[in-house]
Amino acid sequence: MWIPKSEYELQQAIDQGLDESSIFDAKREIATKSKSIAIDIAAMANDGGVIIYGIGEDEHGRPNQLVPIDLKGAADRLTRIVQTCLQEPPQIHISTIRSDIDPAKGYLVVVVPPSPRAPHQVVVDKELRFYGRDTRNNIPLGEGQIAQLYRRRQEAEQDRSSLMGNLVHEFAVAPHPDYAFLYLGIWPILAAEGLMDQIVRTQDEQHDSVFFAKLLGQAQQYQAIPSGYYPEFHQPSSIHRTTKGWLMTLHDQDRGKPGRRYDSALDLDVHDNGHARLFCGRAASQVNGTLQLFEGTVAGLTTHFLWTMGQIYSRAGYVGTVDVGIMVTGMKGALSNALANTLAEPTRMTEDVYTRTTRISTIGLTEASRNVARTLVMPLVRASTRSLRDPFLDR
């Protein structure tokens, strides 16, 4: 999905023959009638796309010139229309590109991800209709098309808890009394098969090992939490290509071997369809005869995992929704490692399994990786540290 970031990029696209399509709509200005705007958004939400305000068209309807609009209040107005004129309101993401000549004017870029809740009904001015797009225009949806979208909605309402259970089963790691295990998973919603094929690689990234080494090396440079953790997220020590994607070992070389030590076990799998999963064998381990939960490891790996997947989705041009989940198993009786060297009275974990899931947008996932990780991890941390520690803040 094309999401321009500058006026130069807009002009360059026009010069190269920019044209409207089922996933791109150019508008000279923001319509005065709320219904027109609501129809545009509803139609685009079925399969996703981008609407840009501030691009004029020629007599054939082809984008041919930049016509900066007044930006003051424009984004707020569009947001209000989506919230009040569509049932239920779809997610949209609005960004502005300011004109180099007059910063008060510019262009409104409205990204409409493919909505797992489509179709969205236009409910302003007694419209009460559903819309979609053909190659260039908005069209009312027929009964069969509406029914198909409702079926798709039901299919998208997957049970995230069962997804995590399946993920644990797929890694097939036997429980061990001396360790608690961390599992992370991410599943794109409504993504096409072959999502990873959409990534444009540079000349030196053509080989898988180089591509993932660079990507995970960049992730390693990102400070997920203020303090270090182990096993750390870094470049893979081995990569194995399968029919589904890539299996990577980030530390030891003993994946799948009997008697593997879990202290340094860290595996990352990325599938062709954009699904990814991570296993760490050291969410907790024995320290001086006591099982200790490493809150920093859980927080750091979760953040780095999300940061990496945000990069992958961005480079693949995937704008949409993903389900994200975390599971920690085998932690019953563990004490907090974060409180180990403090005067605070430790409390043993009474639950053996911790699970939390959420559904988020991929837009800005890299930048939001720490916040999303907090949502997933902090309930566990509050329980283990009695809210006395925060690995996302503590040094």
Is 189 in the same domain as 333?
yes
Residue 393 lies in a domain: no
State whether 136 and 180 are in the same domain: no
Range of the domain at 105: 7-155
Please state, in angstroms and rounded to a whole number, the distance separating the CA atoms of residues 60 and 72: 30
Residue where one domain finishes, among candidates 103, 132, 155: 155
For the domain that residue 103 is a member of, what is the CATH number? Answer: 3.30.950.30
Q: What is the pLDDT of residue 190?
A: 84
- pTM higher than 0.95: no
**Structure confidence at residue 260 (pLDDT):** 84
| Overall domain count for the chain | 2
Q: Assess whether 360 and 245 both reside in one domain.
A: yes
pLDDT tens digits in sequence order for the chain, 395 residues long: 889 999 999 999 999 999 999 999 999 999 999 999 999 999 999 999 999 999 999 988 899 999 999 999 999 999 999 999 999 999 999 999 999 999 999 999 999 999 999 999 999 998 899 999 998 899 999 999 999 999 999 888 877 778 898 999 999 899 999 999 999 999 999 877 789 998 978 888 888 889 999 999 999 999 999 999 999 999 999 999 999 999 999 988 778 788 788 998 999 999 999 999 999 999 999 999 999 999 999 999 999 999 999 999 999 989 999 999 999 999 999 999 999 888 788 889 999 999 999 999 998 899 999 999 999 999 999 999 999 999 999 88
pLDDT, residue 80, reads 98
120, 155, 190 — which closes off a domain? 155
Instruction: Check if the beta carbon of residue 65 is closer than 8 Å to that of residue 18.
Output: no
Residues 55 and 176 in one domain: no
Residue 361 within any structural domain of the chain: yes
Identify the pLDDT of residue 129. 96
202 near 310, Cβ under 8 Å? no
The vertex-58 CA angle with 74 and 44, nearest 5°, equals 50
259 and 281, same domain (yes or no): yes
Distances (CA, A) of 393 to 76, 85, 344, 376: 33, 41, 18, 15
Confidence at residue 156, expressed as pLDDT on a 0 to 100 scale? 82
The predicted structure's pLDDT at residue 135 = 87
Is 230 found in the same domain as 111? no
Question: How far apart are the C-alpha atoms of 35 and 82, rounded to whole Å?
Answer: 10
Residue 346 lies in a domain: yes
Is 376 in the same domain as 229?
yes
- Asked if residue 1 is part of any domain, the answer here is no
Is the residue at 102 inside a domain? yes
* Co-location of 150 and 164 in the same domain: no
Where does a domain end: 155, 189, 213? 155
Distance CA 240, CA 306 (A): 21
